[in-house]
A and B are shown apart, each in its own frame.
Chain A
């Protein structure tokens, strides 16, 4: 695959970029990353955690799943999960660094804290007990791993490098690569 672009995202920093349908977004990281995406020519069509959980019938996103929009259309395929076997990504939580995500998507002139969609939390690894109680159990990989998402439509993707306070010592740079197969 050809590298279209590559960027380093430092802890407490954000990134936003455009993907064409068919391109791969590779996030290489070990600290928590909050991720959102939007249909490029209609920002009101946004990645939605509930529609994604329903489609996959699963609360933990991983390879083999698809990311769905509020309007119930496919947006991305989760094609590689370097965290599989170590921990779980999260679709339960709200934005971990909301001001940072708002700053990252500010050029779109579309979002406020009230309409900023809930994110996918990579590496957030929430602990959910059999009776439904939920608490953070942050547990990132020891070394950065790859997460690959394939765009099914033209998208704008945004993410923030938002290390868990409990693991702030392990915060690390994240690399965001756009690949053209």
Chain B
């Protein structure tokens, strides 16, 4: 495959790009990535967690699974999962951000991120990163869907439904490859990843032409 572009998104920043049908987006990282996709010809046809779970018959996005829009249109296929066997990619959470962090602090719930240690709150998070990254395309926050949270391995009780954050992340950056099933606008936030002791790391984004 031929590399078309390759960029690094530093920790706690956003990134967005247009990608053509058939091209591959490779994200190489070992930190949480909040990832979304939109049909390039109609941004209202955006990735949606619920129909994607129904399409794949699973609450996690796994290798071979598809990200679909609210109307069920295929947007991307996860063709290579470097996290397979280590952890799962989440589709329960939305984006972290200033509003969420402040509420958690006000309610004394910061220990849900990282037990027993004082947490320094970032002044922004994925909600802000994605909003800023998508602003050039005129997409506002309320129209940014809840993302696929790559590398956000959650512990979910099948019986009670209770969710706990984990600190399971790859030891070294690993690749996730997503194939565009149509022309798309894609975007992600390199999450501040407050559940990880790293506090968030950079993400390498490569667009490849097969």
Which A positions have Cβ atoms within 8 angstroms of B? 44-46, 48-51, 53-55, 57-60, 70-73, 88, 92-94, 112-116, 118, 128-135
Within 8 A of A (CB), among B3-55: 42, 44-46, 48-51, 53-54
Q: Mark B57-73, 1 if CB is under 8 A from A, else 0.
A: 11110100000011100
Q: Knowing A72-B103, A118-B48 touch, does A58 contact B162 (C-beta < 8 A)? A: yes
The answer to whether B50 and A92 have CB atoms under 8 Å apart is: yes
Report if B129 contacts A (CB, 8 A): no
Report if B163 contacts A (CB, 8 A): yes
Report if B156 contacts A (CB, 8 A): yes
The answer to whether B57 and A50 have CB atoms under 8 Å apart is: no
With beta carbons under 8 angstroms apart, the residue of A45, A71, A130, A135 that contacts B57 is A135
Majority-rule SS of B interface residues: mixed
Q: Please tell me the size bucket of the interface on B.
A: 35 or more
| Separation of A59 and B155 alpha carbons in the complex (Å) | 11
Q: Which residue of A lies closest to B59 (CB)?
A: A132
The answer to whether A72 and B100 have CB atoms under 8 Å apart is: yes
| Separation of A73 and B49 alpha carbons in the complex (Å) | 20
- Interface stretch (choices B90-98, B174-182, B187-195, B202-210): B90-98
| Separation of A130 and B51 alpha carbons in the complex (Å) | 20
Interfacial chain A residues near B70, Cβ < 8 Å: 94, 113-116
Report if B164 contacts A (CB, 8 A): yes
Interfacial chain A residues near B93, Cβ < 8 Å: 50, 53-54
The answer to whether B163 and A92 have CB atoms under 8 Å apart is: no
> Apart from A49-B50, A114-B44, A118-B48, what are 9 other A-B pairs with CB-CB below 8 Å?
A59-B92, A59-B161, A72-B99, A94-B54, A113-B71, A114-B46, A128-B156, A133-B57, A135-B57
The answer to whether B57 and A70 have CB atoms under 8 Å apart is: no
| Separation of A48 and B103 alpha carbons in the complex (Å) | 16
| Separation of A59 and B156 alpha carbons in the complex (Å) | 8
With beta carbons under 8 angstroms apart, the residue of B50, B57, B158 that contacts A94 is B50
Q: Knowing A50-B92, A70-B142, A114-B44 touch, does A129 contact B158 (C-beta < 8 A)? A: yes
Distance in angstroms from A44 CB to nearest chain B CB is: 5
With beta carbons under 8 angstroms apart, the residue of A59, A72, A134 that contacts B58 is A134
| Separation of A53 and B156 alpha carbons in the complex (Å) | 11
Interfacial chain A residues near B62, Cβ < 8 Å: 132
The answer to whether B59 and A92 have CB atoms under 8 Å apart is: yes
Q: Which residue of B lies closest to A72 (CB)?
A: B99
The answer to whether B50 and A58 have CB atoms under 8 Å apart is: no
| Separation of A71 and B146 alpha carbons in the complex (Å) | 12
The answer to whether A132 and B50 have CB atoms under 8 Å apart is: no
Q: Which residue of B lies closest to A58 (CB)?
A: B161
Q: Which residue of A lies closest to B44 (CB)?
A: A114
| Separation of A112 and B143 alpha carbons in the complex (Å) | 13
Within 8 A of A (CB), among B94-145: 94, 97, 99-100, 103, 112, 141-143
